[in-house]
Amino acid sequence: MPHDDGRDLITVWVVVPVAEHAAAERLAARFAEGGLEEMLAAFVGLLAEAEERPYGVRVAWVNGWITSHPWPRSEGGL
């Protein structure tokens, strides 16, 4: 889908609790000039990279980080 600047992009909307959003914004401010949106876009890029190169170095690093945390699960799965 063409974005307003002509690039082939899509906007992804997610709903998160206010407190979690605030905490994520604080964390993102330390690592990315573009804040949380920039970090989430980078994460989506890494997911796409994992699809193409599941054993790549960057993918392995992110997989290690993801699997080392106890992620909450919603009722009824994702």
What does the pLDDT average to over 7-28? 88
What digits encode the pLDDT tens for the residues 20-44? Answer: 999 999 988 888 888 899 888 888 8
| HEC secondary structure over the chain | CECCCCCECCCCCCCCCHHHHHHHHHHHHHHCCCHHHHHHHHHHHHHHHHHHCCCCHHHHHHHHHHHCCCCCCCCCCC
Which pLDDT score, from 0 to 100, does residue 50 have?
85
Q: What percent of the chain clears pLDDT 70, i.e. is strictly above it?
A: 82
- pTM of the predicted model as reported, rounded to 2 decimal places: 0.65
Q: What is the pLDDT of residue 7?
A: 74
